[in-house]
A and B are shown apart, each in its own frame.
Chain A
Amino acid sequence: MDSALIPNGVKRCSFWQFYLFIGAVGVVLLWGVLAMLLIWLKGLNQTNMNDAYGFALWIWADLAVIALGGGAFFTGFLKYIVGKDELKNIINYAVLIGFICYSSALLILAIDIGQPLRGWFIFWHANVHSMLTEVAFCLSCYFAVLTIEYIPLILENRQLDKVPFFHNLSHNMHEVMAVFAATGAFLSFFHQGSLGGVAGVLFGRPFAYREAFFIWPTTFFLFTWSAAACGPCFTIMLTRLIEKVTGKKLVKQNVIDLLAKIAGWMLLTYIIAKTIDTLYWANVTVPELGQTLAEFYSDNALYKMYFLFLEIGLFGFVPALILVTKKGRNNGFLLISAVILAVLGASLNRWVMVLQVMAVPVLPFESWNLYFPSWQEVATTILPVAYGVILVALSYRYLPVFPQEKALNPIDG
Protein backbone atom coordinates (compact mmCIF):
# COMPACT_ATOMS: atom_id res chain seq x y z
CA MET A 1 0.00 0.00 0.00
CA ASP A 2 2.83 2.38 0.86
CA SER A 3 5.59 0.51 -0.97
CA ALA A 4 6.31 3.51 -3.25
CA LEU A 5 7.49 5.43 -0.18
CA ILE A 6 9.80 2.74 1.22
CA PRO A 7 13.51 3.13 0.35
CA ASN A 8 14.82 0.95 -2.48
CA GLY A 9 16.55 -2.31 -1.67
CA VAL A 10 15.29 -2.73 1.89
CA LYS A 11 12.54 -4.87 3.38
CA ARG A 12 9.84 -3.57 5.73
CA CYS A 13 6.94 -5.26 7.54
CA SER A 14 3.45 -5.13 6.03
CA PHE A 15 1.42 -1.91 6.03
CA TRP A 16 -1.21 -3.31 8.44
CA GLN A 17 1.35 -4.74 10.83
CA PHE A 18 3.12 -1.38 10.92
CA TYR A 19 0.03 0.73 11.49
CA LEU A 20 -1.30 -1.67 14.15
CA PHE A 21 1.95 -1.03 16.02
CA ILE A 22 1.63 2.74 15.49
CA GLY A 23 -1.99 2.54 16.72
CA ALA A 24 -0.96 0.73 19.90
CA VAL A 25 1.73 3.31 20.68
CA GLY A 26 -0.73 6.03 19.63
CA VAL A 27 -3.04 5.04 22.52
CA VAL A 28 -0.23 5.85 24.98
CA LEU A 29 0.41 9.08 23.08
CA LEU A 30 -3.27 10.06 23.38
CA TRP A 31 -3.16 9.38 27.13
CA GLY A 32 -0.29 11.86 27.38
CA VAL A 33 -2.09 14.37 25.16
CA LEU A 34 -5.18 14.12 27.40
CA ALA A 35 -3.04 14.90 30.47
CA MET A 36 -1.34 17.73 28.59
CA LEU A 37 -4.69 19.29 27.65
CA LEU A 38 -5.92 18.95 31.24
CA ILE A 39 -2.86 20.85 32.44
CA TRP A 40 -3.18 23.54 29.80
CA LEU A 41 -6.92 23.98 30.33
CA LYS A 42 -7.16 23.57 34.11
CA GLY A 43 -3.69 24.72 35.12
CA LEU A 44 -0.76 23.43 37.17
CA ASN A 45 -3.13 22.37 39.98
CA GLN A 46 -3.30 19.11 37.99
CA THR A 47 0.23 18.36 39.22
CA ASN A 48 1.58 17.55 42.67
CA MET A 49 4.14 20.34 42.47
CA ASN A 50 4.11 22.72 45.43
CA ASP A 51 6.14 25.55 46.96
CA ALA A 52 8.98 23.13 47.74
CA TYR A 53 8.86 21.47 44.31
CA GLY A 54 8.71 24.21 41.71
CA PHE A 55 10.96 21.92 39.65
CA ALA A 56 9.69 18.35 39.61
CA LEU A 57 9.39 15.22 37.45
CA TRP A 58 9.15 17.20 34.20
CA ILE A 59 12.37 19.07 34.80
CA TRP A 60 14.18 15.82 35.56
CA ALA A 61 12.78 14.37 32.29
CA ASP A 62 13.77 17.56 30.52
CA LEU A 63 17.35 17.46 31.75
CA ALA A 64 17.63 13.72 31.13
CA VAL A 65 16.45 13.88 27.50
CA ILE A 66 18.68 16.88 26.85
CA ALA A 67 21.69 14.98 28.23
CA LEU A 68 20.86 11.81 26.31
CA GLY A 69 20.08 13.80 23.15
CA GLY A 70 23.65 15.07 23.43
CA GLY A 71 24.64 12.16 21.17
CA ALA A 72 23.54 14.28 18.21
CA PHE A 73 25.82 17.24 18.86
CA PHE A 74 28.79 15.11 19.93
CA THR A 75 28.51 12.66 17.03
CA GLY A 76 28.09 15.64 14.66
CA PHE A 77 31.13 17.30 16.22
CA LEU A 78 33.18 14.11 15.78
CA LYS A 79 32.09 13.59 12.19
CA TYR A 80 32.09 17.13 10.78
CA ILE A 81 34.71 18.90 12.91
CA VAL A 82 37.11 16.15 14.07
CA GLY A 83 36.71 14.21 10.80
CA LYS A 84 35.69 10.74 12.03
CA ASP A 85 34.14 9.84 8.69
CA GLU A 86 33.00 6.33 9.73
CA LEU A 87 30.36 7.99 11.89
CA LYS A 88 28.42 9.01 8.75
CA ASN A 89 26.82 5.57 9.10
CA ILE A 90 25.18 6.43 12.41
CA ILE A 91 24.88 10.24 12.26
CA ASN A 92 21.34 10.16 10.75
CA TYR A 93 20.07 8.08 13.64
CA ALA A 94 21.92 10.25 16.19
CA VAL A 95 20.30 13.34 14.65
CA LEU A 96 16.86 11.69 14.70
CA ILE A 97 17.27 10.81 18.38
CA GLY A 98 18.53 14.32 19.12
CA PHE A 99 15.56 15.82 17.27
CA ILE A 100 13.14 13.69 19.30
CA CYS A 101 14.90 14.50 22.58
CA TYR A 102 15.00 18.25 22.00
CA SER A 103 11.46 18.54 20.63
CA SER A 104 10.35 16.55 23.70
CA ALA A 105 12.30 18.89 25.97
CA LEU A 106 10.60 21.92 24.41
CA LEU A 107 7.19 20.24 24.68
CA ILE A 108 7.80 19.48 28.35
CA LEU A 109 8.78 23.12 28.94
CA ALA A 110 5.65 24.28 27.12
CA ILE A 111 3.62 22.20 29.58
CA ASP A 112 5.73 23.19 32.59
CA ILE A 113 5.44 26.96 32.15
CA GLY A 114 1.69 26.68 32.67
CA GLN A 115 0.82 29.39 30.15
CA PRO A 116 2.52 28.38 26.87
CA LEU A 117 1.00 31.37 25.11
CA ARG A 118 3.48 33.45 27.09
CA GLY A 119 6.45 31.28 26.13
CA TRP A 120 7.88 34.05 23.94
CA PHE A 121 8.26 36.31 27.03
CA ILE A 122 11.63 34.68 27.71
CA PHE A 123 12.97 36.21 24.48
CA TRP A 124 11.19 39.57 24.71
CA HIS A 125 11.68 40.14 28.45
CA ALA A 126 15.04 38.33 28.63
CA ASN A 127 16.55 38.17 32.12
CA VAL A 128 20.19 38.36 31.13
CA HIS A 129 21.36 37.38 34.63
CA SER A 130 19.65 33.98 34.45
CA MET A 131 21.34 30.80 33.26
CA LEU A 132 17.88 29.52 32.32
CA THR A 133 17.50 32.38 29.82
CA GLU A 134 20.68 31.20 28.14
CA VAL A 135 19.33 27.63 28.22
CA ALA A 136 16.10 28.80 26.56
CA PHE A 137 18.03 30.67 23.85
CA CYS A 138 20.39 27.78 23.15
CA LEU A 139 17.64 25.12 23.30
CA SER A 140 15.51 26.98 20.77
CA CYS A 141 18.43 27.65 18.44
CA TYR A 142 19.80 24.13 18.75
CA PHE A 143 16.38 22.67 18.01
CA ALA A 144 16.43 24.75 14.81
CA VAL A 145 19.87 23.26 14.02
CA LEU A 146 18.59 19.72 14.63
CA THR A 147 15.61 20.38 12.38
CA ILE A 148 18.01 21.57 9.68
CA GLU A 149 20.08 18.40 10.16
CA TYR A 150 16.93 16.22 9.98
CA ILE A 151 15.42 17.89 6.87
CA PRO A 152 17.92 16.42 4.33
CA LEU A 153 17.05 12.94 5.59
CA ILE A 154 13.34 13.62 5.01
CA LEU A 155 14.12 14.99 1.55
CA GLU A 156 15.94 11.75 0.72
CA ASN A 157 12.64 9.89 0.83
CA ARG A 158 12.22 8.04 -2.46
CA GLN A 159 9.34 10.21 -3.70
CA LEU A 160 10.54 13.57 -2.39
CA ASP A 161 13.99 12.99 -3.87
CA LYS A 162 12.40 12.89 -7.35
CA VAL A 163 11.50 16.58 -7.03
CA PRO A 164 14.58 18.46 -8.40
CA PHE A 165 14.31 21.37 -5.95
CA PHE A 166 14.17 19.04 -2.94
CA HIS A 167 17.03 16.97 -4.33
CA ASN A 168 19.17 20.10 -4.80
CA LEU A 169 18.20 21.48 -1.39
CA SER A 170 19.15 18.23 0.35
CA HIS A 171 22.46 18.16 -1.59
CA ASN A 172 23.28 21.79 -0.66
CA MET A 173 22.39 21.25 2.99
CA HIS A 174 24.75 18.27 3.14
CA GLU A 175 27.51 20.46 1.68
CA VAL A 176 27.29 23.10 4.43
CA MET A 177 26.32 20.74 7.26
CA ALA A 178 29.69 21.26 8.96
CA VAL A 179 28.71 24.90 9.63
CA PHE A 180 25.43 23.83 11.22
CA ALA A 181 27.18 21.05 13.18
CA ALA A 182 29.74 23.54 14.55
CA THR A 183 26.93 25.91 15.55
CA GLY A 184 25.15 22.99 17.21
CA ALA A 185 28.27 22.04 19.17
CA PHE A 186 28.69 25.67 20.31
CA LEU A 187 25.05 25.92 21.41
CA SER A 188 25.11 22.52 23.10
CA PHE A 189 28.24 23.31 25.08
CA PHE A 190 26.54 26.32 26.60
CA HIS A 191 23.04 25.00 27.27
CA GLN A 192 24.22 21.64 28.64
CA GLY A 193 26.61 23.55 30.86
CA SER A 194 24.11 26.14 31.98
CA LEU A 195 21.65 23.44 33.01
CA GLY A 196 24.35 22.20 35.39
CA GLY A 197 25.21 25.75 36.33
CA VAL A 198 21.64 26.38 37.50
CA ALA A 199 22.12 23.87 40.33
CA GLY A 200 25.75 24.75 41.00
CA VAL A 201 25.12 28.43 41.76
CA LEU A 202 22.48 27.75 44.44
CA PHE A 203 24.61 28.93 47.38
CA GLY A 204 21.57 28.64 49.68
CA ARG A 205 21.43 24.90 48.99
CA PRO A 206 24.74 23.28 50.02
CA PHE A 207 23.69 19.98 48.44
CA ALA A 208 23.76 21.58 44.98
CA TYR A 209 26.33 24.33 45.40
CA ARG A 210 29.78 23.87 43.82
CA GLU A 211 32.93 25.96 43.64
CA ALA A 212 33.35 28.03 40.47
CA PHE A 213 35.97 28.67 37.81
CA PHE A 214 35.48 32.39 37.09
CA ILE A 215 31.65 32.56 36.97
CA TRP A 216 30.98 28.90 36.09
CA PRO A 217 30.46 26.30 38.84
CA THR A 218 32.04 22.88 38.26
CA THR A 219 28.60 21.45 37.47
CA PHE A 220 28.63 23.58 34.29
CA PHE A 221 31.54 21.55 32.91
CA LEU A 222 30.42 18.22 34.36
CA PHE A 223 26.98 18.45 32.71
CA THR A 224 28.46 19.15 29.27
CA TRP A 225 31.05 16.42 29.76
CA SER A 226 28.49 13.82 30.87
CA ALA A 227 26.18 14.67 27.95
CA ALA A 228 29.05 14.19 25.49
CA ALA A 229 29.87 10.86 27.20
CA CYS A 230 26.37 9.42 27.76
CA GLY A 231 24.62 10.84 24.67
CA PRO A 232 26.53 8.53 22.28
CA CYS A 233 25.84 5.63 24.70
CA PHE A 234 22.11 6.36 24.32
CA THR A 235 22.51 6.36 20.53
CA ILE A 236 24.27 2.96 20.68
CA MET A 237 21.62 1.61 23.07
CA LEU A 238 18.78 2.64 20.73
CA THR A 239 20.66 1.29 17.70
CA ARG A 240 20.87 -2.09 19.38
CA LEU A 241 17.18 -1.81 20.34
CA ILE A 242 16.02 -1.09 16.78
CA GLU A 243 18.26 -3.92 15.52
CA LYS A 244 16.57 -6.25 18.01
CA VAL A 245 13.07 -5.09 17.02
CA THR A 246 13.69 -5.34 13.27
CA GLY A 247 15.81 -8.48 13.52
CA LYS A 248 18.46 -6.87 11.29
CA LYS A 249 22.01 -5.64 11.60
CA LEU A 250 21.84 -1.94 10.70
CA VAL A 251 25.25 -0.52 11.59
CA LYS A 252 28.62 -2.24 11.17
CA GLN A 253 30.51 -3.18 14.32
CA ASN A 254 33.50 -0.92 13.53
CA VAL A 255 31.21 2.15 13.64
CA ILE A 256 29.68 1.12 16.99
CA ASP A 257 33.14 0.24 18.27
CA LEU A 258 34.54 3.69 17.39
CA LEU A 259 31.63 5.56 18.98
CA ALA A 260 31.70 3.32 22.06
CA LYS A 261 35.45 3.79 22.45
CA ILE A 262 35.21 7.60 22.31
CA ALA A 263 32.19 7.56 24.65
CA GLY A 264 34.12 5.28 27.01
CA TRP A 265 37.09 7.64 27.28
CA MET A 266 34.79 10.62 27.70
CA LEU A 267 32.93 8.72 30.44
CA LEU A 268 36.12 7.64 32.21
CA THR A 269 37.58 11.16 32.26
CA TYR A 270 34.18 12.57 33.28
CA ILE A 271 33.75 10.17 36.17
CA ILE A 272 37.30 10.85 37.43
CA ALA A 273 36.53 14.60 37.34
CA LYS A 274 33.16 13.94 39.01
CA THR A 275 34.86 11.93 41.77
CA ILE A 276 37.40 14.70 42.45
CA ASP A 277 34.59 17.27 42.43
CA THR A 278 32.49 15.18 44.83
CA LEU A 279 35.41 14.63 47.22
CA TYR A 280 36.20 18.36 47.30
CA TRP A 281 32.52 19.24 47.74
CA ALA A 282 32.03 16.69 50.55
CA ASN A 283 35.21 17.56 52.45
CA VAL A 284 35.57 21.32 51.86
CA THR A 285 32.49 23.02 50.40
CA VAL A 286 29.76 21.36 52.48
CA PRO A 287 31.49 21.81 55.90
CA GLU A 288 32.23 25.44 55.05
CA LEU A 289 28.52 25.94 54.41
CA GLY A 290 27.64 24.43 57.81
CA GLN A 291 26.41 20.97 56.83
CA THR A 292 27.81 17.44 56.64
CA LEU A 293 27.68 14.85 53.87
CA ALA A 294 25.75 12.43 56.11
CA GLU A 295 22.87 14.91 56.44
CA PHE A 296 22.18 14.62 52.71
CA TYR A 297 21.76 10.85 52.86
CA SER A 298 19.95 10.14 56.14
CA ASP A 299 16.63 10.66 57.93
CA ASN A 300 14.54 9.91 54.84
CA ALA A 301 13.10 6.87 53.12
CA LEU A 302 14.62 7.29 49.65
CA TYR A 303 17.90 9.15 49.47
CA LYS A 304 20.64 7.03 51.07
CA MET A 305 24.39 6.88 50.55
CA TYR A 306 23.93 4.22 47.87
CA PHE A 307 22.81 6.98 45.48
CA LEU A 308 26.35 8.29 45.50
CA PHE A 309 27.88 4.85 45.00
CA LEU A 310 25.41 4.02 42.21
CA GLU A 311 26.11 7.22 40.29
CA ILE A 312 29.89 7.13 40.55
CA GLY A 313 30.57 3.41 40.81
CA LEU A 314 28.01 1.17 39.09
CA PHE A 315 26.77 3.77 36.57
CA GLY A 316 30.12 5.52 36.16
CA PHE A 317 33.38 3.61 36.54
CA VAL A 318 31.91 0.21 35.58
CA PRO A 319 30.57 1.21 32.11
CA ALA A 320 33.59 3.46 31.50
CA LEU A 321 36.05 0.63 32.15
CA ILE A 322 34.06 -1.74 29.94
CA LEU A 323 33.91 0.75 27.05
CA VAL A 324 37.60 1.68 27.06
CA THR A 325 38.68 -1.95 26.69
CA LYS A 326 38.54 -3.67 23.30
CA LYS A 327 37.44 -6.91 24.95
CA GLY A 328 34.52 -5.12 26.63
CA ARG A 329 33.37 -3.46 23.42
CA ASN A 330 33.61 -6.67 21.39
CA ASN A 331 31.43 -8.61 23.82
CA GLY A 332 27.80 -7.93 22.88
CA PHE A 333 26.44 -8.43 26.40
CA LEU A 334 29.09 -6.26 28.06
CA LEU A 335 28.69 -3.50 25.45
CA ILE A 336 24.91 -3.25 25.83
CA SER A 337 25.22 -3.48 29.64
CA ALA A 338 27.77 -0.66 29.64
CA VAL A 339 25.72 1.71 27.50
CA ILE A 340 22.57 1.01 29.57
CA LEU A 341 24.51 1.69 32.79
CA ALA A 342 25.91 4.92 31.35
CA VAL A 343 22.42 6.06 30.32
CA LEU A 344 21.15 5.26 33.83
CA GLY A 345 24.11 7.21 35.23
CA ALA A 346 23.25 10.39 33.32
CA SER A 347 19.57 10.03 34.24
CA LEU A 348 20.38 9.47 37.92
CA ASN A 349 22.74 12.45 37.94
CA ARG A 350 19.99 14.70 36.58
CA TRP A 351 17.50 13.23 39.10
CA VAL A 352 19.85 14.01 41.97
CA MET A 353 20.59 17.52 40.72
CA VAL A 354 16.89 18.34 40.31
CA LEU A 355 14.81 16.30 42.74
CA GLN A 356 17.20 15.50 45.58
CA VAL A 357 18.26 19.16 45.59
CA MET A 358 14.63 20.08 46.28
CA ALA A 359 14.18 17.32 48.86
CA VAL A 360 17.14 18.07 51.15
CA PRO A 361 16.20 20.32 54.10
CA VAL A 362 18.21 23.54 54.21
CA LEU A 363 17.03 25.03 57.51
CA PRO A 364 17.27 23.36 60.96
CA PHE A 365 13.49 23.28 61.47
CA GLU A 366 12.77 21.80 58.03
CA SER A 367 12.23 18.12 57.25
CA TRP A 368 12.77 16.25 53.96
CA ASN A 369 10.39 17.25 51.18
CA LEU A 370 9.40 14.05 49.44
CA TYR A 371 7.01 14.31 46.53
CA PHE A 372 5.09 11.89 44.34
CA PRO A 373 4.00 13.02 40.86
CA SER A 374 0.33 13.07 39.82
CA TRP A 375 -0.86 10.80 37.00
CA GLN A 376 -0.97 13.84 34.72
CA GLU A 377 2.73 14.44 35.32
CA VAL A 378 3.54 10.77 34.67
CA ALA A 379 1.42 10.70 31.50
CA THR A 380 3.00 13.86 30.11
CA THR A 381 6.45 12.46 30.90
CA ILE A 382 5.65 9.23 29.03
CA LEU A 383 4.14 11.21 26.13
CA PRO A 384 7.56 12.05 24.60
CA VAL A 385 8.54 8.37 24.74
CA ALA A 386 5.47 7.39 22.69
CA TYR A 387 6.08 10.30 20.31
CA GLY A 388 9.71 9.21 19.96
CA VAL A 389 8.78 5.59 19.19
CA ILE A 390 6.34 6.74 16.50
CA LEU A 391 8.83 9.13 14.89
CA VAL A 392 11.62 6.52 14.89
CA ALA A 393 9.21 3.94 13.38
CA LEU A 394 8.03 6.32 10.63
CA SER A 395 11.58 7.49 9.87
CA TYR A 396 12.92 3.95 9.74
CA ARG A 397 10.11 2.83 7.43
CA TYR A 398 10.21 5.68 4.94
CA LEU A 399 13.67 7.24 5.14
CA PRO A 400 17.21 5.92 4.53
CA VAL A 401 18.22 6.32 8.18
CA PHE A 402 20.89 3.61 8.12
CA PRO A 403 23.15 3.87 5.03
CA GLN A 404 24.66 0.41 5.67
CA GLU A 405 21.31 -1.40 5.94
CA LYS A 406 21.19 -2.44 2.28
CA ALA A 407 24.71 -3.90 2.29
CA LEU A 408 24.20 -5.67 5.61
CA ASN A 409 20.80 -7.13 4.65
CA PRO A 410 20.80 -8.03 0.93
CA ILE A 411 17.38 -9.02 -0.41
CA ASP A 412 17.44 -12.38 -2.22
CA GLY A 413 16.26 -12.40 -5.81
Chain B
Amino acid sequence: MFPFIFEWIWDPSHMVFMGGLWYALGIIGLGMTYCIVKAAVDTVQGKGGHDH
Protein backbone atom coordinates (compact mmCIF):
# COMPACT_ATOMS: atom_id res chain seq x y z
CA MET B 1 0.00 0.00 0.00
CA PHE B 2 1.25 3.45 -0.95
CA PRO B 3 -0.16 6.52 0.79
CA PHE B 4 -1.23 8.27 -2.41
CA ILE B 5 -3.16 5.52 -4.17
CA PHE B 6 -5.61 3.09 -2.64
CA GLU B 7 -4.70 -0.12 -4.46
CA TRP B 8 -0.94 0.42 -4.66
CA ILE B 9 1.23 -2.61 -5.54
CA TRP B 10 5.02 -2.52 -5.91
CA ASP B 11 5.17 -3.54 -9.60
CA PRO B 12 6.63 -1.86 -12.73
CA SER B 13 3.21 -0.79 -14.09
CA HIS B 14 2.31 1.10 -10.92
CA MET B 15 5.78 2.62 -10.64
CA VAL B 16 5.80 3.84 -14.28
CA PHE B 17 2.24 5.20 -14.24
CA MET B 18 2.26 6.81 -10.83
CA GLY B 19 5.93 7.80 -11.16
CA GLY B 20 5.08 9.71 -14.36
CA LEU B 21 2.14 11.41 -12.66
CA TRP B 22 4.10 12.47 -9.59
CA TYR B 23 7.04 13.56 -11.76
CA ALA B 24 4.78 15.89 -13.79
CA LEU B 25 2.90 17.14 -10.74
CA GLY B 26 6.23 17.65 -8.96
CA ILE B 27 7.61 19.88 -11.73
CA ILE B 28 4.35 21.84 -11.95
CA GLY B 29 4.17 22.25 -8.16
CA LEU B 30 7.82 23.19 -7.71
CA GLY B 31 7.72 25.58 -10.67
CA MET B 32 4.66 27.41 -9.39
CA THR B 33 5.99 27.47 -5.81
CA TYR B 34 9.21 29.07 -7.07
CA CYS B 35 7.26 31.70 -9.08
CA ILE B 36 4.92 32.59 -6.21
CA VAL B 37 7.61 32.73 -3.52
CA LYS B 38 9.94 34.78 -5.76
CA ALA B 39 7.08 37.14 -6.65
CA ALA B 40 6.32 37.61 -2.94
CA VAL B 41 10.00 38.28 -2.15
CA ASP B 42 10.31 40.69 -5.11
CA THR B 43 7.19 42.53 -4.00
CA VAL B 44 8.44 42.86 -0.41
CA GLN B 45 11.74 44.20 -1.81
CA GLY B 46 9.81 46.87 -3.64
CA LYS B 47 10.24 45.52 -7.16
CA GLY B 48 7.31 45.61 -9.51
CA GLY B 49 8.23 48.16 -12.11
CA HIS B 50 7.30 47.50 -15.72
CA ASP B 51 10.56 45.77 -16.58
CA HIS B 52 9.55 42.80 -18.80
The interface of chain A, by Cβ under 8 A from chain B, is 123-126, 128-129, 133-134, 137-138, 141, 144-145, 148, 161, 164-165, 167-174, 176, 179-180, 183, 186-187, 190
Q: Given known contacts A172-B34, A172-B35, what 13 new A-B pairs fall within 8 Å (CB)?
A: A126-B5, A128-B18, A137-B17, A137-B24, A148-B31, A165-B48, A167-B49, A168-B42, A168-B43, A171-B51, A176-B31, A183-B27, A186-B24
Q: In the complex the two chains form, is B20's CB within 8 Å of A137's CB?
A: yes
The residues of A that contact B27 with a CB separation of less than 8 Å are 179-180, 183
Q: In the complex the two chains form, is B48's CB within 8 Å of A164's CB?
A: yes
Partner of A141, one of B25, B40, B50: B25
> A137-B17, A141-B21, A174-B52 given as contacts; is B42 within 8 A of A148 (CB)?
no
Contacts between chains A and B (CB distance < 8 A), count: 82
Size class of the B contact interface (CB-based, 8 Å): 20 to 34
The residues of A that contact B14 with a CB separation of less than 8 Å are 126, 128
Partner of A167, one of B13, B38, B40, B50: B50
Q: Which residue of B lies closest to A163 (CB)?
A: B48
Contact with A along B8-45 (1 / 0, CB 8 A): 00000110111011001101100110111011101100
21 contacts between A and B (CB under 8 A): A123-B5, A124-B5, A125-B6, A126-B7, A126-B14, A128-B13, A128-B14, A128-B17, A133-B17, A137-B20, A141-B24, A161-B50, A167-B48, A167-B50, A169-B39, A171-B42, A172-B38, A172-B39, A176-B35, A180-B27, A186-B24
CA distance A186 to B24 in the complex (A): 9
> A141-B24, A141-B28, A168-B38 given as contacts; is B48 within 8 A of A126 (CB)?
no
Partner of B13, one of A123, A129, A144, A164: A129
Q: Which residue of A lies closest to B18 (CB)?
A: A126
Q: In the complex the two chains form, is A145's CB within 8 Å of B28's CB?
A: yes
CA distance A83 to B3 in the complex (A): 40
The residues of B that contact A173 with a CB separation of less than 8 Å are 35
Q: In the complex the two chains form, is A169's CB within 8 Å of B36's CB?
A: yes
The residues of B that contact A134 with a CB separation of less than 8 Å are 17, 20
Q: Which residue of A lies closest to B28 (CB)?
A: A144
Q: How far is the CB of A245 from chain B (nearest CB, A)?
A: 30
The residues of B that contact A176 with a CB separation of less than 8 Å are 31, 34-35
Closest 8 CB pairs of A and B: A164-B48, A169-B39, A168-B39, A128-B13, A168-B42, A172-B35, A128-B17, A141-B24
Q: How far is the CB of A135 from chain B (nearest CB, A)?
A: 12
> A137-B17, A168-B48, A171-B51 given as contacts; is B28 within 8 A of A180 (CB)?
yes
The residues of B that contact A138 with a CB separation of less than 8 Å are 24
Q: How far is the CB of B42 from chain A (nearest CB, A)?
A: 4
CA distance A190 to B50 in the complex (A): 38
Q: In the complex the two chains form, is A165's CB within 8 Å of B21's CB?
A: no
CA distance A141 to B13 in the complex (A): 19
The residues of B that contact A128 with a CB separation of less than 8 Å are 13-14, 16-18
The residues of B that contact A126 with a CB separation of less than 8 Å are 5, 7, 14, 17-18
CA distance A134 to B32 in the complex (A): 23
Q: How far is the CB of A127 from chain B (nearest CB, A)?
A: 9
CA distance A137 to B34 in the complex (A): 23
CA distance A271 to B52 in the complex (A): 41
The residues of A that contact B7 with a CB separation of less than 8 Å are 125-126
CA distance A148 to B36 in the complex (A): 12
CA distance A101 to B13 in the complex (A): 30
CA distance A126 to B5 in the complex (A): 8
CA distance A227 to B25 in the complex (A): 23
CA distance A124 to B49 in the complex (A): 45
The residues of A that contact B38 with a CB separation of less than 8 Å are 168, 172
Q: Which residue of B lies closest to A171 (CB)?
A: B52
CA distance A180 to B5 in the complex (A): 25
CA distance A180 to B31 in the complex (A): 8
CA distance A202 to B48 in the complex (A): 55
The residues of B that contact A133 with a CB separation of less than 8 Å are 17
The residues of B that contact A164 with a CB separation of less than 8 Å are 42-43, 47-48
